[in-house]
Structure formats: structure tokens, C-alpha cells
Chain A
Amino acid sequence: MSIIEIRGVVKRFGSITAVAGVDVDIAHGECFGLLGPNGAGKTSLVRMIVGVSPITEGSIMVDGRDITREPRLIKAQLGVVPQEDNLDPDLNVLDNLVTFARYFDIAKEEARQRALTNLQLFELQDRQRAKIEELSGGMKRRLLIARALTNKPMLLVLDEPTVGLDPQTKHLVWRKLRSLKAQGTTLLLCTQNMDEASFLCDRLAIMNEGRIIALGPPQELVRKYGGSQIIEARVRSGERRDLVLSRLGKQGLQWQEIEETIYVFQGDGQVLDQDLLSELVITNQHIPSLEDVFLKLTGRSLKEQ
């Protein structure tokens, strides 16, 4: 059974449509990634899933319960790691976790035990008495994740958990998330970090303009949309550009043109023939990555203007 069932979900803010109809199921125990440029609707979708934002149209079921009808019961089972730090600056590190546990009706002694365990897990045990403002960005992020584990959530939702972290902290976070997944926690991850997405996620949904435009395991997405090789090239003579592009199309090659550069996505067994090679100056070629797929599907121009 799926832990999250999203059906025809739409989110509008006035005249702006942030989520334009999303249908997807997330399975128990998987790590599911939402990938997309800024403004693609990832955060809006996630806020609806965790019950802090009303759904304009459609429905979301979490663990078999309707999020609009039983938000309290569902929220008791969730851990949420927000993009921006919202730790409680009036309380020290330990009290942040203990106070947070009280929101879940966890008894004091148990709350303390869990707080200490989670601080240990994220290597913060030496900073128990520190004020929040004394922590570095990396420590705050670790503490946010530690806090989200307070109620032993069956579903952990993370919005860009490693943005701005140094590589050491980033890898620490990734290791911890992997081990949580190994223990059966379902992870829902919003990210723009392709390494993170391929490293952690079993399946990815690429979102653009409020819709899911591609869905599948990372390797499959790369194979399906990236082909076997990407060639970056320029046209040797500007007047022959249209001719070259139409010839590429005729040979069944997918291409994308960004400013002067043409990106040719070569599938298995596809090659550029001599005619084409003589028209093109090849500047680079590489094995496709998730980033290439992302850029191909969501476009290379800036999304927020």
C-alpha cells in the first residue's frame, strides 16, 4: 500500500497556479525525490502533503487518512525539515528538542532521552546548552533534522536539506538519511541537488510549472531522456543553421539549442553521419547525467524573472 496518494491536486494562490494537477503515489519505505527549478511547485505540494496548506482541488491521503479531515493524526506521524531555519531562538539546543516533543504529547523523561539520542546521532551532543544563535548554519540544519525525528516519524519530509552545507556535513546528512531509510522510514525529499537526488532517491519526479513532467528511478530517467551521449557543438556556418537542425531531426536525433550551442542527445546506436560532422564544430561530449536530463526537461533559461 502507498503511504501517500496524491490525486488531481491543484494549488492556487489568487490568480497564480502553483500546482497544476499532480497525481502520484509514494510507496512505504521508499525515498522519493521531487526535483524542479525554483517556482516549480515542489514546496507548495509538500506543504499540502504535511497538512499546513489547504488543498485547492484534489485529495491527498497519508497512510490511508485524508489530510484535510484528520490533519492532527497525520501530523503526529510526520517529521518535517523546512528549507528555512525555524528553530526556537528563545530556547537552547536541548530545550528546543524537549519542548518540541511536548507538542507530540511525549512525556518529559522520554522526551529528554530522545533528544539526547537525536543530538548524538547528528553529533551535536556537545552543544546541548548552546543558544541557537551560536550555532553555525550546518549545525542548525543538523538540529532541524534531529528535531524532525522527535516523534519517530514514519514519513520524513525534507525541503532542500543540504543547501549551503559543507561537503562533510552534506555527507553526514546523506548517511543519516540512508540509515533512516534502511530502518523503514519513508523519505520525501525536495531538492535541486542532482548528486543528492541520484544518491538517495529510489524514484524521482521532475516538476516544472506545477506539473510532474517525468517520473521514475534516476538511472531510468537518465537512460530515457539523456540517451547514451551528449554532444555539444556549434554550427560551422551560421547560414546553414536551419538546414543542420532539420537534418538532425530527420535522423531522429533530439537536440536543444541554447544561445550558440547545440546539445545533441545521442541514443543507443545513433551516430552523427559525415555530412553532419562536417557542418558542426564539436566543442565537448559527455555521458549524460541527471543534470542534463533536468535541463533538457525544464529548459535552460532562467525560471524566475
Chain B
Amino acid sequence: MNVSYHSLRLWQRNRDVFFKLWRSEVPGFFAEPILMLLAMGFGLGTYVALEDGQRYVEFIAPGIIAAYAMFSASYECTYGSFIRMKHQRTYDSIIATPLSIDDVSAGEILWGATRSLLTACVILMVIAAFGLVESPWALLVLPMTVLTGLMFSSIALFFTSVAPSIYSFNYYFTLFITPMFFLSGVFFPISAFPAVVQRLTWIAPLTPVADLTRAMVSGQLGEGTWWGLGIIVGYLAVFFPLSLVMMKRRLLR
């Protein structure tokens, strides 16, 4: 791997573009999670009774942070990266400068994680304003989201490196991201599943993220399934180098 501080230069490029075009990003990553919180939490939530008497909106608020952290990184490193790579040929011009292909890939992953962090900050502020944050431990969500973002960006960039066309991402979202969104404990506790299925849901990288985010926001750190961090770090350790290798294979001709 040939990663250097130059990957920050790509990160800076993406940051500048984002803050120039931020108006077009607001609906997807800021308005949608808030709408979700209102509709599901305060709307549907009034008809839902949880076993331990917890309010439903309190249950899903941390889940929404986890889910939209996933979405932000995933969109950025699939559609975003693919357009820059293939349609705009931005990478072609950049690898003729002191940046290596690995710098470009690492920069994309760093930026994807930054997008997750931005999204998590906004949602955290909103749910705090609704009085749904019960403990200062909730600030732990921020480093947690960086880790989450790095993981989902790496997985997404790996898929980008093998995607034949931009339409391939329909598969990625329909078969991987959306099922996790519904089945990883964001909207209902995974204890609703039979024991075997419960164990299987821990294969999905969003499950530990939702679980730990919930423990942090509620302040009941003891209830978190902390070995889940191992799953997240494991995915990151596999997919970060893998995505770099595969991007290099794709771009180096």
C-alpha cells in the first residue's frame, strides 16, 4: 500500500465541492433522517409498545443515527466515487500529480467517513433538541460514527472497484444496504427474531453499530454488546486494504 498524507488533498477536494454544493445534499442526508424520526418515532411510535416500556421514539432515534451514517458513507463511495472515477475522469487527472492511486482511494474513504460524521452530528443535535439524548455518553457516538463511516466507505469502495456500471449499485443497495436498514435492529429489537436468526443478524455490519449507538445515546453503556466493535474493526481491516488493492487493479492500466 502506498498511502501518504496526500490522501488528505483528495479529502480537501471533496470537502470543497461538498460545501459548494451543500444545498443539493440537504434533502437526502439531513431532511430525510429527520422526517424518518418524526414519522416513525412520533407518528407510528404512538401505536407501538415496547416490552420494557421504553418510548418507541427513544428506541429508534439512535438507530436512525446508525442507519444514516451507513447511508452517507455508502452513497458517497458508490455513486459519488464512481461518477468521479468513470464519468468525470477526475482521478485520471489527479494520479498524474504526486498523488498515488492508493492516496485517491484512501482519500475517498476518509471523505465517506466524514460524510457519516456530518450526518450523525446533525441528527444528534436534532434528537437532543427533542430531549431524546439522556446522557453525555452520547458524544461517544461521534468517534463511533467515524469508525462506522470508515467501514461502510471501505465496503462501498470495494464494490465500486468491481462495479461494471453505475446501475450495478442498485444491487448493492437493494440486496445489501436496504435489508440491513430494516433487519439490523434500527426499527425493532432483533430479539423479535428467532434465536438462530438473531445470531445471523450479527453478520450484518450495521447490527453492532445500531446496538452500540443505542447504548451510547441512552447512556446505558453496560447494555451495549461491546464485542460488536470487533465485528466493525474486522470488516474495516478486511475491506480497507481490499478496496485499495481492487481500485488499483481497476485504475492501473
Distance of A104 from chain B, by nearest CB (Å)? 6
Residues of chain A within 8 A of B95, CB atoms compared: 52
1/0 per residue, CB under 8 A from A, across B73-109: the answer is 0000000000000001110111111111000000000
A102 within 8 Å of B by Cβ?
Answer: yes
Count the B residues whose beta carbon is within 8 Å of the partner chain — how many?
A: 23
Majority secondary structure, B binding face? loop
Task: Give me the 5 closest cross-chain CB pairs, A-B, nearest first.
Answer: A103-B97, A86-B89, A86-B93, A80-B96, A90-B17
Q: Which residue of B lies closest to A87 (CB)?
A: B93
What separation, in Å, do the CA atoms of A47 and B98 have in the docked complex?
Answer: 15
Contact: B9 with A103, CB < 8 Å? yes
Count the A residues whose beta carbon is within 8 Å of the partner chain — how many?
A: 31
What separation, in Å, do the CA atoms of A288 and B29 have in the docked complex?
Answer: 66
1/0 per residue, CB under 8 A from A, across B1-37: the answer is 0001010010011001100110000000000000000
Q: Which of B16, B92, B100, B252 contacts A91 (CB 8 A)?
A: B16
A95 within 8 Å of B by Cβ?
Answer: yes
Residues of chain B within 8 A of A103, CB atoms compared: 6, 9, 94, 97-99
Residues of chain A within 8 A of B17, CB atoms compared: 90-91
Residues of chain A within 8 A of B16, CB atoms compared: 91, 95, 99
Contact: A99 with B93, CB < 8 Å? no
Which residue numbers of A lie inside 8 Å of B, CB to CB? Answer: 13, 47, 50-54, 71-73, 75-76, 78, 80, 82, 84, 86-91, 95, 99-100, 102-105, 147, 151
What separation, in Å, do the CA atoms of A53 and B97 have in the docked complex?
Answer: 13
Residues of chain A within 8 A of B100, CB atoms compared: 71-72
Q: Which of B89, B99, B253 contacts A84 (CB 8 A)?
A: B89
Contact: B252 with A104, CB < 8 Å? no
Distance of A18 from chain B, by nearest CB (Å)? 10
Contact: B93 with A82, CB < 8 Å? yes
What separation, in Å, do the CA atoms of A147 and B4 have in the docked complex?
Answer: 23
- Most B CB contacts (10 A, CB to CB) among A47, A53, A88, A147 go to A88
Q: List 5 A-B contacts (CB under 8 A).
A: A52-B92, A53-B252, A86-B89, A103-B6, A147-B93
What separation, in Å, do the CA atoms of A54 and B20 have in the docked complex?
Answer: 36
Residues A104 and B97 in contact in the complex (CB < 8 Å), given A88-B90, A89-B88, A91-B16: yes
Distance of A59 from chain B, by nearest CB (Å)? 18
Residues of chain A within 8 A of B96, CB atoms compared: 50-52, 75, 78, 80, 82
Contact: B253 with A86, CB < 8 Å? no
Residues of chain B within 8 A of A100, CB atoms compared: 93, 97
Majority secondary structure, A binding face? loop
What separation, in Å, do the CA atoms of A211 and B3 have in the docked complex?
Answer: 35
Contact: A75 with B93, CB < 8 Å? no
Residues of chain B within 8 A of A73, CB atoms compared: 98
Residues of chain A within 8 A of B93, CB atoms compared: 82, 86-88, 100, 147
What separation, in Å, do the CA atoms of A74 and B13 have in the docked complex?
Answer: 22
- Most A CB contacts (10 A, CB to CB) among B12, B88, B99 go to B88
What separation, in Å, do the CA atoms of A42 and B99 have in the docked complex?
Answer: 24
Q: Which of B12, B21, B97, B253 contacts A75 (CB 8 A)?
A: B97
Contact: B252 with A75, CB < 8 Å? no
Residues of chain B within 8 A of A13, CB atoms compared: 253
Residues of chain B within 8 A of A47, CB atoms compared: 253
Contact: A102 with B9, CB < 8 Å? yes
Residues of chain A within 8 A of B94, CB atoms compared: 103
Since A90-B88, A91-B17 are in contact, a sample of 12 more A-B pairs with Cβ atoms closer than 8 Å, ordered by chain A residue number, is A47-B253, A52-B92, A52-B95, A72-B98, A84-B89, A86-B88, A86-B90, A88-B90, A90-B90, A91-B20, A102-B12, A105-B98
